[in-house]
Homo-oligomer: A and B are copies of this chain.
Amino acid sequence: MSEIESSPDGAKGAVNRRRILWAAGLGAGLAGVGAGRVRAAEPDPNIVPVPEWSKTLGAGVNANPYGKPSPFEKDVVRREVTWLTASSESSVSFTPLYALDGPITPNGLCFVRHHGGEAVIPPDKYRLMIHGMVDKPLVFTLEDVKRMPGRVNRAYFLECAANSGMEWRGAQLNGCQFTHGMIHNVYYTGVPLRSFLEAAGVKPKGKWVLAEGADAAGMTRSIPLEKAMDDCLVAFGMNGEALRPEQGYPVRLVVPGWEGNMWVKWLRRIKVGDEPWGQREETSKYTDLLANGEARRHTFVMDAKSVVTNPSPQAPLLHKGPNVLSGIAWSGRGTIKRVDVSLDGGRNWTTARIEGPATPMAMTRFYLDFDWNGQELMVQSRAMDDTGYVQPTKAALRKIRGVNSIYHNNGIQTWLVRGNGETENVEVG
């Protein structure tokens, strides 16, 4: 920031080159780790005259009937880790968390996990079947789904159970896009699954439902009837518009707070049964192998977790003085009540400022305004939810779970910020 002398209309004032200023007002309002002042940027005479882009007529209002991001943001994209899986049809592309802010994930950047690639379903051909242990098997068209009473709008995080899974044995991937980018948070529009089950009439023996997708993998997961009747949604909208193709267009299942793998996309049928089906995705996958060789199964809920997205390896610190630390926290068991941040690897903690909506099973944004003098930092965040649960250290997690697991790694992440601002993924203690 620089001081200038302004002319009568301010648009042609000459830049004051006498000195680079330390702005007074900025220190005030600084919270968190000590107050500071923004270091002045080099005064730039080019801003004082009317800039070039003010002198030429720009593109019209309908240049893009469906808008796109600025070309200057072209690197803010989902990224695949090609060595991670054998084929792109059964792989993941990660959300660029380091470049995002606020509580919502834009639809174009929501992480994608496919098991048989993207199913393309003409909406007029879509059908949803409710069958199994029901009084009356039913088939719904998409228009039927949209005519169901009780439509709701809810913001929920969707996290893949394997998010951070590659970090079990130690710091590996250098960027929160890859260590934590298997998560997004959008507003879903849909109808409670309960309404469909009540329409078909669940028989007394019915205790579980099987959700199956219409993709080439025939993705299937068993869900306890209690959860299905509680808060699951048959969703057709995300962030105001139709579901995106890679998110299950035209209809997906929403299973708030539970493993993303259970949020079946391109939802084709819901079958009611009296026990879990033991499908591939709940036996050979999405179970947690412990040190003693036993495996935990049906670990559905995603526990409280958080990560600092700025600074992070893809978003280093660029300036000394005031900086804004930003991050996200979420819990599958309830509402984020508090997030603490440490800049020294967990020795000292400061409570961050939760900013924007903090609702159950939704991503919550936090900030810490801090002053950086160029010292080395070990940045961590620790989430707490309204059940009293506190996000554990990776060491505490490994002590109980060993290092064979892939899923449910919600350990505290550490970023090392070097004196030059460069940031990397490290382990502490």
**Cβ contact within 8 Å between A324 and B151:** yes
Which residue of the partner chain, among B57, B65, B321, contacts A116 with CB atoms under 8 Å?
A: B57
Task: Report if A105 contacts B (CB, 8 A).
Answer: yes
Per DSSP, chain A at the interface is loop
**Cβ contact within 8 Å between B11 and A269:** yes
Interface pairs (19), CB distance under 8 Å: A1-B138, A1-B141, A6-B132, A6-B271, A10-B137, A29-B149, A51-B125, A58-B89, A60-B91, A61-B112, A65-B93, A67-B109, A72-B122, A101-B241, A102-B187, A108-B108, A143-B319, A147-B323, A151-B355
**Cβ contact within 8 Å between B322 and A3:** no
Task: Report if A24 contacts B (CB, 8 A).
Answer: yes
Task: Report if A66 contacts B (CB, 8 A).
Answer: yes
Complex: how many Å from CA A141 to CA B123? 47
Tell me, rounded to whole Å, the shortest Cβ–Cβ distance linking A241 to chain B: 5
Which residue of the partner chain, among B51, B106, B271, contacts A241 with CB atoms under 8 Å?
A: B106
Tell me, rounded to whole Å, the shortest Cβ–Cβ distance linking A269 to chain B: 6
Complex: how many Å from CA A92 to CA B198? 46
Chain B residues with CB under 8 A of A150? 29, 31, 369
Instruction: State whether A4 and B129 are in contact (beta carbons under 8 Å apart), knowing that A60-B117, A187-B103, A269-B11 are contacts in the complex.
Output: yes
**Cβ contact within 8 Å between B138 and A2:** yes
**One of A214-222, A331-339, A401-409 contacting the partner:** A214-222
**Cβ contact within 8 Å between A147 and B38:** yes
**Cβ contact within 8 Å between B246 and A147:** no
Instruction: State whether A3 and B38 are in contact (beta carbons under 8 Å apart), knowing that A70-B244, A93-B61 are contacts in the complex.
Output: no
Interface residues in A222-257 by Cβ distance below 8 A to B read 237, 239-246, 249-250
A residues engaging B (CB < 8 A)? 1-6, 9-11, 13, 21, 23-26, 28-31, 38, 41, 43-44, 46-48, 50-51, 53-70, 72-73, 76-80, 87-89, 91-93, 99-110, 112-114, 116-123, 125, 127, 129, 131-132, 136-141, 143-144, 146-154, 187-189, 195, 198-201, 212, 214-216, 218, 237, 239-246, 249-250, 266, 268-269, 271, 318-319, 321-324, 326, 355-357, 365, 367, 369
Tell me, rounded to whole Å, the shortest Cβ–Cβ distance linking A115 to chain B: 10
Instruction: State whether A100 and B136 are in contact (beta carbons under 8 Å apart), knowing that A118-B63, A147-B321, A356-B153 are contacts in the complex.
Output: no
**Cβ contact within 8 Å between B72 and A123:** yes
Interchain residue pairs A-B with the least CB separation, the first 9: A58-B117, A60-B88, A25-B199, A47-B127, A153-B356, A6-B131, A65-B77, A149-B369, A58-B118
Complex: how many Å from CA A137 to CA B2? 8
Instruction: State whether A88 and B114 are in contact (beta carbons under 8 Å apart), knowing that A69-B244, A106-B239 are contacts in the complex.
Output: no
**Cβ contact within 8 Å between A149 and B324:** yes
**Cβ contact within 8 Å between A23 and B136:** yes
Tell me, rounded to whole Å, the shortest Cβ–Cβ distance linking A247 to chain B: 8
Tell me, rounded to whole Å, the shortest Cβ–Cβ distance linking A212 to chain B: 8
Which residue of the partner chain, among B25, B72, B88, B151, contacts A367 with CB atoms under 8 Å?
A: B151
Instruction: State whether A57 and B103 are in contact (beta carbons under 8 Å apart), knowing that A23-B136, A269-B10 are contacts in the complex.
Output: no
Tell me, rounded to whole Å, the shortest Cβ–Cβ distance linking A138 to chain B: 5
Tell me, rounded to whole Å, the shortest Cβ–Cβ distance linking A122 to chain B: 6
Chain B residues with CB under 8 A of A1? 138-141, 144, 199
Tell me, rounded to whole Å, the shortest Cβ–Cβ distance linking A95 to chain B: 10
Chain B residues with CB under 8 A of A271? 6, 9-10
Instruction: State whether A198 and B25 are in contact (beta carbons under 8 Å apart), knowing that A1-B141, A324-B147 are contacts in the complex.
Output: yes
Complex: how many Å from CA A352 to CA B137? 32
Please give me the residue from chain B that is nearest to A126 by CB atom.
B47
Chain B residues with CB under 8 A of A113? 61
Complex: how many Å from CA A24 to CA B69? 47
